Amino acid sequence: MTLLAAATLWTGRVRAGQEQQSPLVKMPDGSEFLPEYARQPSMFRPATEAPNNILIDAPVNGTIYPPDVIAPQFKWRDNNPAATVWRVEINFGGKGKPIRVSSDGEKLKIPEVDASLSGYVPPTLSPEEQQMHAWRPDVKMWEEIKKRSTGVKAMVTISGYAAEKSAQPVSSAQATFETSRDAVGAPIFYRNVPLIPPQEGTTQRGVIKPLPDSVLPKIRWELRYINETHNHLMMTNLPTCGNCHSFSRDGKVMGIDVDGPANDKGLYALTPLNKVTTISNDYLVRWSAFSEEGGQKRFGFMSQVSPDGKYVVNSIDVPRAKGMRVVDRLYNGFYPYYGFGQVFYPTRGVLAWYSKESGKLQTLPGADDPNFVQTSAFWSPDGKWLIFSRATASNPYPAGYKRSLYANDPNETQVQYDLYRIPFNNGKGGVAEPVRGASDNGMSNNFPKVSPDGKWIVFVRCKNGLLMRPDSRLYIVPFEGGEARALESNLPVMNSWHSWSPNGKWLVFSSKSPSFYTRMYLTHIDEQGHASPPVEVENATASNRAVNIPEFLNIGANDLDHIETPAIDYYREFDTAQQLQDEAKYAEAIPAWKVAAAKDPTDARPFNNLGVALAAMGQFDDAIDAYKRSLTINPESSQTHNNFGSALAEAGRLDEAMENIRTAIELNPDNGAAHVNLGHMLEVRGGAREEAKAELRKGIELAPKLSDGHNVYGVILAREGQMDEAIAELQTAVDLAPRSAECQFNLGRAMAASNRFADAVPHFEAAASLTGGKEPAILQMLAGIYSDTGQYAKAVDVAQRALDIAEQRNDRELAQQLRANLSRYRSQMQTGQQ
């Protein structure tokens, strides 16, 4: 009995091809739907605002530039086709001589892509960007422009001319800008990430996994000083999706999730920041070490370092909630569109704080109520307060849940968070109070960042969930609560991942405008909390990559050179083993998994994946032992229970197999492979065919790309005499797995039973070839189909080979059948009659 087993990771490789991707969503009824985020207006003004004239797109009127920023592009569209050259004039409030330059109006181009990536959606310019012209002042001129526009509203006039020597313009427009006296004064630490559409059929619950494992080493953590044109690489080539970094206020301590290949938030690094920073085992915090006996492995969410670097606050599972799994407190969805490929947010959890001095993790009184989800806490700059998101606790996948198909699908589990403020009080907590203006407003309020002077909170407001939602907009509210206002810097699609500069004058944030390849922007915040138009941090990444988690780091120009990561060696071993397994090199993968398991015997996944490799090699007893070890560490893994059941079935232990496969489905109702396996086992045991068929249909619905479901279901239909339907299912199985001897054989049998002998021949031939001509039962069927199609010489030859093998194996019954068949085929060959 061959059942389905799976590794505990989404490990598929990205598609090699590159193609444009439509934002249209295929709905269950076959219709197509365009999500709201794909219908948002452009960040650029429509051409109808300036018919036959110029629109200046950068600088936007009222732009404020930092004094330490590199020269930006001045960009415009000219709606007068007569214009072929342009003149740029900058006046400085009537003081001094204007700056005048001529420009050919170079057209915007798509910046370079990262050619090392595959499977990405090719970046494009927006329709407005395709029409834009650009000019950039040189370094010397920009320094003059900044100096003369500091504290002065400069006016840029861009005029179009029909020819270089024309005296009168055919088009013209103006915009004001100025240079702030407030420097940004600090670099930005951020993740530079590939943006790859999730694999089709990715549905695993309770997993934060925005990228396939093969792409994780392509993530780059970079440092950008805005007075430079290039980025500084801090670390890369990690087999892990390290994220949610934060820093102490003085820039001397860094905290970062070190997730491992499954992004389980089990590891956290709290390390001193030096010129060469090292993430070693000495600085690792293992949240799982604080898991309770009999409980699920502890999961930390949105961890944040305190301003003094002594503490870390995060959101964990509810203490003493035995059996509480990540899937019971985290909602996530995978979507095929690359712009918003995954959503995740907690529906249960409490705040906890970790002390570097004591090495203990404790819940925070006042934010530890199991009736609420308390998450995503951020510190006030003095470390005395925490601002966090709170909502009524709920099941992330309630009864009747329907899988969501796109970001902000109404089928997403609905959670609207309110912002609350609570004193830290040296870990004693206190009474949590809602932040007026950021609570009880029918929206979801989250990701609160307090200004360095403690005056303001800038937070994300969206319809549902938190952080990177299509409708995320940045709002500002006084720290004590009051009227919340949308920042004037918001762009049409997703505004999030914001951070205050150490001096409190600037905010950096990410947005998916004008492209779904996320970009990074700066905005100036004045004393009244008003934001200036956004200024893009140019050249932050390749055009087929995205910028996220930008965080100001309070260090000097040469204080951080790079980050070394010896503690992540384990994950390299893991990745090596996974690579071998992906390539079906199971004999080599087995010792590699053993090395990985030895490096971290508390991680269940290497043992599970070792079991998969052992089972693939037919070593089922050893596979059973590996699965047992994995389940000892993590008894709530749906995939491991399914894999365990598969191995038990192969070993003939059907009752235990059935029990484990049913447990797999209880743990994850969306485990399509487990439904297929259960249906298969029910059919093998007999007496429950309708239940078996129902399970197989469910498995096929959840995992339509798994050949086994179609194969087993087709066999059952054939046994019931529904041959047309059976052949259709079995043909699908062969299309999905053309190198499966079992699928080829079953399709051949169904065709032969339908008297489609000629059609059956190539499938029996394929089955024989795939088994090396060493399976006498397959050869027996092939000989029979040759006889049925009048190929008697072939029938004799194949039957003789089958007989030889049967006799070698001492299979007397099969040998007797083959001798009778062989006699008949020889007679047919002599007479030329069937």
pLDDT for the residue numbered 259: 65
Joined together, the tokens standing for residue 237 give: 């080539």
Checking if the pLDDT of 261 tops 60, the result is no
Checking if the pLDDT of 350 tops 60, the result is yes
pLDDT for the residue numbered 576: 84
Instruction: Tell me how crowded residue 176 is: count the other CB atoms within 10 A of its CB.
Output: 16
Checking if the pLDDT of 352 tops 50, the result is yes
Q: Read out DSSP for 668-709?
A: -TT-HHHHHHHHHHHHHH-S-HHHHHHHHHHHHHH-TT-HHH
> What percentage of the chain exceeds 70 in pLDDT?
92
Joined together, the tokens standing for residue 303 give: 């961890």
CA distance 433 to 285: 30
pLDDT for the residue numbered 610: 96
Mean pLDDT of the chain: 90
CA distance 301 to 312: 11
Parallel, antiparallel or unpaired: strands 361-363 and 350-355: antiparallel
Checking if the pLDDT of 16 tops 50, the result is no
Q: Mind listing the pLDDT tens digit for each residue in 674-722?
A: 999 999 999 988 889 999 999 999 999 998 989 999 999 999 999 999 9
* pTM for the structure as a whole: 0.73
- Reference 747, options 697, 713, 774, 702; nearest CA is 713
pLDDT for the residue numbered 417: 98
Joined together, the tokens standing for residue 815 give: 């040998």
Checking if the pLDDT of 292 tops 50, the result is no
Joined together, the tokens standing for residue 585 give: 């090199």
Q: Tell me which residue has tokens 């219908």.
A: 39
CA distance 761 to 783: 10
Q: Mind listing the pLDDT tens digit for each residue in 794-822?
A: 999 999 999 999 999 999 999 999 899 99
CA distance 409 to 411: 5
pLDDT (average), residues 172-178: 97
pLDDT for the residue numbered 208: 63
Q: At 323, is the pLDDT very low, low, confident or very high (cuts 50, 70, 90)?
A: very low
pLDDT for the residue numbered 502: 98
Q: Mind listing the pLDDT tens digit for each residue in 130-164?
A: 999 999 999 999 999 999 999 999 999 999 999 99
Q: At 740, is the pLDDT very low, low, confident or very high (cuts 50, 70, 90)?
A: very high
CA distance 154 to 139: 18
Q: Catalogue all structural domains in the chain, each as residue range(s) with its CATH number.
A: 35-179 (2.60.40.10), 188-569 (2.120.10.30), 773-834 (no CATH)
Q: Mind listing the pLDDT tens digit for each residue in 616-648?
A: 999 999 999 999 999 999 998 999 999 999 999
Q: At 267, is the pLDDT very low, low, confident or very high (cuts 50, 70, 90)?
A: confident
CA angle 303, 307, 308 (to 5 degrees): 110
Checking if the pLDDT of 523 tops 70, the result is yes
| SS3 assignment, position 254 | strand
Q: Mind listing the pLDDT tens digit for each residue in 774-798?
A: 999 999 999 999 999 999 999 999 9
- Reference 626, options 597, 657, 583; nearest CA is 597
Checking if the pLDDT of 13 tops 50, the result is no
pLDDT for the residue numbered 436: 98
- Name 510's bridge partners: 496, 520
Lowest mean pLDDT among 48-57, 430-439, 536-545, 595-604: 595-604
Q: At 14, is the pLDDT very low, low, confident or very high (cuts 50, 70, 90)?
A: very low
- Reference 529, options 490, 573, 478, 582; nearest CA is 478
Q: Mind listing the pLDDT tens digit for each residue in 181-214?
A: 999 999 999 999 998 877 655 566 656 666 777 7
Q: Mind listing the pLDDT tens digit for each residue in 647-656?
A: 999 999 999 9
pLDDT (average), residues 588-597: 94
pLDDT for the residue numbered 67: 98
Q: Mind listing the pLDDT tens digit for each residue in 91-139?
A: 998 889 999 999 999 999 999 999 999 888 999 999 999 999 999 999 9
pLDDT for the residue numbered 47: 92
pLDDT for the residue numbered 196: 84
